[in-house]
Amino acid sequence: MTSENKVVGQAAPPAHLAVRGIHKRFGGVHALRGVDFEVARGEVMALVGDNGAGKSTLMKVLAGAHLADDGAFFLDGKPAEVTSPNDASELGIQIVYQDLALCENLDVSANLSLGSEPVKPGWSFLPRLLRPLDDLEMEVKAKKAIDRLEVRTLQSVRAKVGGLSGGQRQAIAIARAVGAESTVVMLDEPTAALGVAQTRQVLEVVKRLRETNHAVVYISHNMRDIFEVSDRITVLRHGTNVATYTTSETNPDEIVVAMTRGLDTENGNAA
Ligand SMILES: Nc1ncnc2c1ncn2[C@@H]1O[C@H](COP(=O)(O)OP(=O)(O)OP(=O)(O)O)[C@@H](O)[C@H]1O
Ligand SMILES: [Mg+2]
């Protein structure tokens, strides 16, 4: 069964990534119950809902980290298949997990190249794992990724990640996702553990992603951040869609009501 997603506000821009009728069960828990979701290039789509609403599960389904039990994927309107993180990454879909999965003991440039480290030319007679890494190439790649996102507070790509602030780490994790030729970047509560200045830095990076024509999915509980950074807001409740709002045409109170009570039905009762 596919839920009918209500759209509140302007007509939607053409979807880049869309899913319809997504179901996901974990044993007895029916976490997603026919969810529709979409995001366009050059927009930030906020994904909100109470604890346990299914936001992280939906994001992991979109990233191929969880296999949906049912439902369909579309990329630029064409049916697509996402059954593994590899499928998702080949389609340009990248996720930044809350724990970031950065290596503390490596520097920024090594973290940005993890899994696709450039090797020095001329050593191809050795098995790949034994070839010397091209530090310079790694540094150049890292500088490009950081410059693209205009992360200004980072002194050097040679700095160890262990010594960076939370906001800087978040920016590095985002730069890594963006570096992989992605078109969709998904962030799960990127500012949850950050102070004011660091949150600001991450919000600027998110805006920068929109400017570079990425489709951005942004999960957050912070209404102020959501209203600052998003173009649209999709509300989930108990694993189903409540509605999708145009940010400029709604307000935090309306979103909180939708998150906690759902949409009022026609006869005036809370859903
Ligand atoms: N790996 C898992 N195994 C079993 N149940 C899970 C798993 N992941 C999520 N769930 C369940 O699915 C439901 C949705 O969880 P999810 O993490 O998607 O919620 P959320 O909206 O991200 O919540 P929060 O705001 O607390 O992060 C919850 O009932 C949760 O307990
Ligand atoms: Mg979550």
**Residue pLDDT, tens place only, 78-120:** 999 999 988 998 899 988 876 666 776 777 777 776 666 666 7
Q: What is the pLDDT of residue 117?
A: 66
- CA 269, chain centre distance (Å): 34
Of 144-153, 189-198, 223-232, the least confident: 144-153
Is the distance from CB of 236 to CB of 58 less than 8 angstroms? yes
pLDDT at position 54 over 50: yes
pLDDT over 70 percentage in the chain: 84
Is the distance from CB of 204 to CB of 44 less than 8 angstroms? no
- The DSSP bridge partners found for residue 96 are 187
Task: Give CA–CA dist 129/140, Å, rounded.
Answer: 21
Is 103 close to ligand 1, i.e. is its CB under 6 Å away?
A: no
Coil vs helix vs strand at 35: strand
The mean pLDDT of the chain is 84
Q: What is the pLDDT of residue 179?
A: 66
Alpha carbon of 48 to ligand 2 centroid (Å): 10
Q: What is the pLDDT of residue 269?
A: 41
Alpha carbon of 89 to ligand 2 centroid (Å): 21
Task: Give CA–CA dist 108/176, Å, rounded.
Answer: 10
Residue 116, Cβ density class (10 Å: 0-12 exposed, 13-18 middle, ≥19 buried): exposed
CA geometry: angle at 65 spanning 61 and 66, to 5°? Answer: 55
Task: Give CA–CA dist 190/104, Å, rounded.
Answer: 18
Of 15-29, 192-206, 236-250, the least confident: 192-206
58 CA closest ligand 1 atom index? 18
27 CA closest ligand 1 atom index? 4
Q: Which of 32, 33, 56 to mutate to test the pocket of ligand 1 (most atoms within 8 A of CB)?
A: 56
Task: Give CA–CA dist 127/109, Å, rounded.
Answer: 23
66 CA closest ligand 1 atom index? 1
Q: Which of 30, 32, 55, 223 to mutate to test the pocket of ligand 1 (most atoms within 8 A of CB)?
A: 55
pLDDT over 90 percentage in the chain: 49
Is the distance from CB of 203 to CB of 229 less than 8 angstroms? yes
49 CA closest ligand 1 atom index? 21
57 CA closest ligand 1 atom index? 18
Is 55 close to ligand 1, i.e. is its CB under 6 Å away?
A: yes
Write the single-letter amino acid at 43: E
Q: What is the pTM of this model?
A: 0.83
Q: What is the pLDDT of residue 264?
A: 64
The tokens of 207 are what? Answer: 């805006």
Is the distance from CB of 216 to CB of 248 less than 8 angstroms? no
CATH 3.40.50.300 in the chain is located at 1-92+183-192+202-271
Task: Give CA–CA dist 73/36, Å, rounded.
Answer: 10
Torsional sign, CA 212, 205, 185, 75: negative
Question: How many C-beta neighbours within 10 Å does residue 122 have?
Answer: 8
Is the distance from CB of 209 to CB of 174 less than 8 angstroms? yes
Superfamily per CATH, domain 1-92+183-192+202-271: P-loop containing nucleotide triphosphate hydrolases (3.40.50.300)
Task: Give CA–CA dist 171/183, Å, rounded.
Answer: 17
Is 26 close to ligand 1, i.e. is its CB under 6 Å away?
A: yes
Alpha carbon of 77 to ligand 2 centroid (Å): 27
Q: What is the pLDDT of residue 73?
A: 96
Alpha carbon of 51 to ligand 1 centroid (Å): 8
